[in-house]
Amino acid sequence: MAKHRVKFTFPQELISEPIIYNLARRFKVVTNIRRADVAADRGWVILELEGSQEDIERGIAWVGSKGVRVDPVSGDIVEG
Amino acid sequence: MSYVTALRCRRCDRKYPVKALSICEFCFAALEVEYDYGAIGKAMTRKSIEASPWNMWRYKPLLPVGDNLIDLGGCVTPLVKANNLGRQLGLDELYIKNDCLNPTNSFKDRVVAVSMTRALEFGFDVVACASTGNLANSVSAHAAKAGLKAFVFIPADLEQGKVVGTAIYGPTVVMVKGNYDEVNRLCSEVAENNNWGFVNINLRPYYSEGSKTLAYEVAEQLGWRAPAYAVVPVASGSMFTKIWKGLGELERLGLIEARTTRMFVSQAAGCSPVVEAHNAGTFQIRPVKPNTIAKSIAIGNPADGYYALNTIKESNGGAVAVSDEEIVEGIKLLAETEGVFAETSGGVVIASLKRLVASGAIKEDGPTVAYITGSGLKTQEAVLNALRPAVVVEPSFSSFEKALGQYQ
């Protein structure tokens, strides 16, 4: 089993959608939320994803395709 | 001997042993190095520092390293009194901290020297980084010196010319066929699944501490006082917060009287998440897609953005974003007045400084330090179209005189 720590940043139009629930249900990924800040117009959630490497990668791609920004919890790693 | 006592979560204060860790297991916030300041205070005085060799290790008690130091033989970089530029901007006491003069021509040699020393102490055989320029140059050079294998991850579409200054040191360059975000995610996974010293991931708490030397050196070079104003280029926000932390440590140890510096963030308008949050009056950073010539500081989702905003608040500072045109003008202005050829991030700083003086945010009531953190020789394409054209003559004196007459 693999684990990934990621940050989801939601645009306003996706705040009310159950993205994390659907991620867990559709891709057999266990989601474990550690920190979050969600308001009416924006939101972010820091969570751990646990599952097979393939399921996690497919799940992350699906979340990204919905319009959610997915980043490593450590922020951008590629530096100048 | 190291004075490090633990790693501590910057958010929930949980303590961790001194290992290659960067994220709190509970809240996933960043970890910070803690020191025994009581013992440091006994070991470190102005006199002891002044008697030490003229390099960054003169402040070693305040760095997370032991005794087997890895460096490329760099020195304390010059703090130049910028009289010509100061006169143009209307500042009597303006200084340039010229970090172009590090061994691989950027401030990254400070952070990499610390993280490479730590990598050896932790017993890593392989070090790695993800970088499009300065960091890759520095990691590769230091790894060569340390006798470690190095892996450097870059986006596959990076221009070949950008790779030369890295590849020459013999690392394995991994070109990732993906966009910037995909490279980020891959590197995060590589760091989690390999026993490597990834300098800006699992070694990040140690790596980032190297930037504090930018505060120590400036304070010592100013005769043991903090600058009144500091203008700093901001990418991840790490260097900005560490300069502030370093000044705080000097105050705590009684090496300077007071940390009275007002800290100013400078970013390119095409990638300014910290400035945007500051202007919106929020501590929430909204990630952005970078679109600027200042690629060395183009980080759309800055790891230390929140802490940079906190530093602005604590220091009663501010934040400025400047256009690409202003950046080019800033590079030229610094070169033509002070003889320093800075990379694009230096242009960001000078353009920001110009605005801050014009708006009255920076006044003539104490020394201002502009941090120039990388050499323009690496980003020559940024100014190629902004230079004065050459005077072309036939190989005869009359042709020269004629041309000169027209030119003047």
- Measured CA to CA, the distance from residue B284 to residue B124 in angstroms comes to 36
Instruction: Give this complex's ipTM.
Output: 0.86
Series of mean pLDDT values for 10-residue runs along chain A (80 residues) = 90 92 96 93 92 94 94 86
Instruction: Report residue A45 CA to chain centroid gap.
Output: 7
A5 touches chain B (CB under 8 A): yes
pLDDT number for residue B179: 76
Instruction: Tell me the per-residue pLDDT of B122-132, one tens digit each, with 9 for 90 and over.
Output: 999 999 999 98
Beta-strand pair B126-130/B149-155: parallel
Residue B71: CA count within 13 A, CB half-sphere: 21
Place of tokens 């490597």: B196
Within its chain, how far is the Cα of B338 from the centroid? 20
Please give the C-alpha separations between residue B361 and each of B215, B231, B260, B284, B355, in angstroms, as whole numbers: 21, 11, 15, 24, 9
Q: Name the nearest CA neighbour of B316 among B362, B282, B351, B357.
A: B362
Given CB atoms, is B87 within the 8 Å cutoff of chain A? no
Does the distance separating the beta carbons of A76 and B22 come in below 8 Å? no
Question: What angle in degrees, to the nearest 10, is found between the helix axes of A53-65 and A19-27?
Answer: 140
Residues of A in contact with B300 (CB under 8 A): 76
Task: Give the closest of A4, A72, A79 to B131, CB-based.
Answer: A79
Q: What would the mean pLDDT of B316-328 be, rounded to a whole number?
A: 98
B306 → chain A, closest CA residue: A75
Section B234-262 average pLDDT: 97
Judge whether B315 and B263 are in contact, CB under 8 Å.
yes
pLDDT in tens, B383-407: 999 999 899 999 999 999 999 888 7
- pLDDT confidence of residue B105: 96
**Inter-chain residue contact A73 with B301, CB threshold 8 Å:** no
Which chain B residue shows the shortest CA-CA distance from A36? B27
For chain B, how big is the Rg over CA atoms in Å? 21
Bridge partners of B98, per DSSP, are: B372
Q: Is the minimum CB–CB distance between A77 and chain B shorter than 8 Å?
A: yes
d(CA B260, CA B230) in angstroms, rounded, equals: 10
Assess A51–B contact: CB distance below 8 Å, yes or no: no
Mean pLDDT of B134-145: 97
Q: State the nearest Cα–Cα gap between B303 and chain A, in angstroms.
A: 4
Average pLDDT, chain B: 95
CB contact under 8 A, B129 and A80: no
Strand, coil or helix: A22 = helix
Closest Cα in chain B to A46: B28
Is some CB atom of chain B closer than 8 A to the CB atom of A11?
no
pLDDT for B408 equals 67
Instruction: Report the Cα B62 to chain-centroid distance in Å.
Output: 18
A25 burial via Cβ count (<10 Å: 0-12, 13-18, 19+): exposed
Q: What is the pLDDT of residues B68-100, one digit of tens each?
A: 999 999 999 999 999 999 999 999 999 999 999
Pair of tokens at residue A6: 């990621």
Q: Which of residues 30-49 of B touch A (CB under 8 A)?
A: 30
Amino acid, single-letter form, for residue A12: Q
A8 sits in which H/E element: strand A2-10
The pLDDT, as a whole number, for residue B407 is: 73
Strand B262-268 with B318-322, pairing: parallel
Secondary element (H or E) of residue B97:
strand B94-98
Q: What is the mean pLDDT of residues B352-357?
A: 98
> Measured between CA atoms, how close is B400 to chain A, in angstroms?
43
Strand partners, B123: none
Q: How many whole angstroms from its chain centre is CA B19?
A: 24
pLDDT at residue B184 is higher than 90: no
Q: What is the percentage of chain B residues whose pLDDT exceeds 70?
A: 100
Q: Which residues pair with B214 in a beta bridge?
A: none
pLDDT of residue B176: 92
CB contact under 8 A, B297 and A80: yes
